[in-house]
Amino acid sequence: MKIKKIIPSTIAILLFAAPAFAGESNQRHSAGHVEQTNFGPGDSYLHRMSVDPSDYRKVKDISKSVTDLPKPIQRKNSKKVVITLEATEVMASIAHGINYHYWTFNDTVPGPFLRVLQGDTVELSLFNAEDSSHSHSIDLHAVTGPGGGAAVTHVEPGESKELIFKATTPGLFVYHCAAGNAATHIANGMYGLILVEPTKGLSKVDHEFYVMQGELYTHGSIGKKGFQAFDARKMIDERPEYVVFNGRTGALVEQGQLKAKVGDKVRVFFGNAGVSKISSFHIIGEIFDKVYAEASLSNTLKDVQTTLVPAGGASMVEFKVDYPGNYVLVDHALTRIDRGAWGILNVTGRKNNALYSGSSSDDAADKVHHMEH
């Protein structure tokens, strides 16, 4: 099976890449207020940020669990919903022994999955942690208004601001920080998804999962150990060292894997933070029964193999799992598996030989399956 060859090569790259050290001098990045007028040609921010890892709080696991999302909304009437988010800057691992200065909403990447009902009035307050070195803000693509909310939520360290908006349009939307050089803030981890449920609700499923693709632009090449500073040059050149699901390599395997049983109906809320790459979202060995293309709830496709998810966009896919085993989530630009973009959906239950069978090569998988029962 193809994936068995690919995954060890990923691990090999992560484990054995040469730990060369590049010791460029640093220049402090402006921590002050940056107006959003600094778009356009120029290289004024192409220096390295000066980060002393010991200045920041450590987070044990930066990845948001795929199952950490609110349950479907039961009410039919809209109401006022209060949401509080905190912008934080923390130290965490991209992979074993590879540390990074992440910027987050609520200490995870992606940030919290927000879930509101169409017609709700959302009161969102954004607090920027006292120990942040940058100002932050939030732009929610579900918002109609200047900056998607960023125009009124620009917060300095220790400051809090409120955005009030009406969730007019159902769909699954990306949110992200839009302060300063927004691309930098997104690349460092400041993104998440907000679902605006239609008043009639979504169809019932057995499992909902929250997955977001993102890119990391580290100064050291992939696999290089130690603290890795953000590399603005690589970001401008659109050359991420890591492409990951939920913030780091391996977030969706072992303890973090998706789980279902044969016969279950599964929905994946999939977002792509970018900041540069389009994702070709695919699950090896599955066919999406239904895709809400570009996360528009008014447009569904059936029987889709791979769905295109733009940077700053999302998709919702639904499918029934019919056969036990491991199914691998990927960006089907498959070289990105070696940069971290893969995860496992583990399905347990009875085999259906009429659907799928073969030679004895999956005896080992059989044994694992029986042990679980």
User: Site residues (CB under 5 A) for Cu ion?
Assistant: 136, 177, 179, 185, 190
* Closer of 179 and 328 to Cu ion (Cβ): 179
**Selection from 267, 258, 256 nearest residue 206 by Cα:** 267
CB of 94 vs Cu ion, minimal distance in Å: 19
The count of residues in the chain is 373
- Do residues 149 and 163 make contact, with C-beta atoms less than 8 angstroms apart? yes
Closer to Cu ion by Cβ: residue 14 or 177: 177
Q: Count CB-CB contacts under 10 A for residue 370.
A: 8
Nearer to Cu ion, 311 or 330 (CB): 311
Whether residue 110 has a cis bond before it, omega within 30° of 0: yes
Q: Which residues contact 121 (CB under 8 A, 6 or more apart)?
A: 78, 79, 80, 81, 164, 165, 166, 167
Residue 103 contacts residue 31 (beta carbons within 8 Å): no
Q: How far is the CB of 317 from Cu ion (least distance, A)?
A: 29
Q: Is 310 helix (H, G, I), strand (E, B) or coil?
A: coil
Rank residues 94 and 190 by Cβ distance to Cu ion and give the closer one: 190
Distances (CA, A) of 226 to 109, 114, 245, 255, 367: 20, 33, 21, 24, 38
Q: How far is the CB of 129 from Cu ion (least distance, A)?
A: 11
Residue nearest to Cu ion (CB): 177
Burial class (CB within 10 angstroms; exposed 0-12, middle 13-18, buried 19+) of 298? exposed
Provide the 8-state DSSP code for 203.
P
Q: To the nearest whole angstrom, how small is the minimum distance from the Cβ of residue 322 to Cu ion? A: 43
Q: What does DSSP say about strands 313-320 and 265-272: parallel, antiparallel, or unpaired?
A: antiparallel
Closer of 14 and 193 to Cu ion (Cβ) = 193
**Least distance (Å) between residue 89 CB and Cu ion:** 9
Work out the end-to-end distance of the chain between its first and last CA atoms, rounded to an integer number of angstroms: 25
Two structure tokens written together for 230: 């953000």
Pairing assessment for the beta strands 191-197 and 114-117 based on DSSP bridges:
parallel
State which amino acid sits at residue 330: V
User: Contact at 8 Å (CB) between 352 and 322?
Assistant: yes
**Closest CB 176 distance from Cu ion, rounded Å:** 8
Residue closer to Cu ion by CB (options 187, 316) is: 187
* Residue 84 CB, nearest approach to Cu ion (Å): 16
Nearer to Cu ion, 136 or 234 (CB): 136
Closest approach of Cβ 185 to Cu ion, in Å? 3
Distance in Å, CB of 241 to Cu ion, minimum: 21
Type of residue numbered 302: K
Q: Which is nearer to Cu ion, 29 or 136 (CB)?
A: 136
143 vs 177 by CB, closer to Cu ion: 177
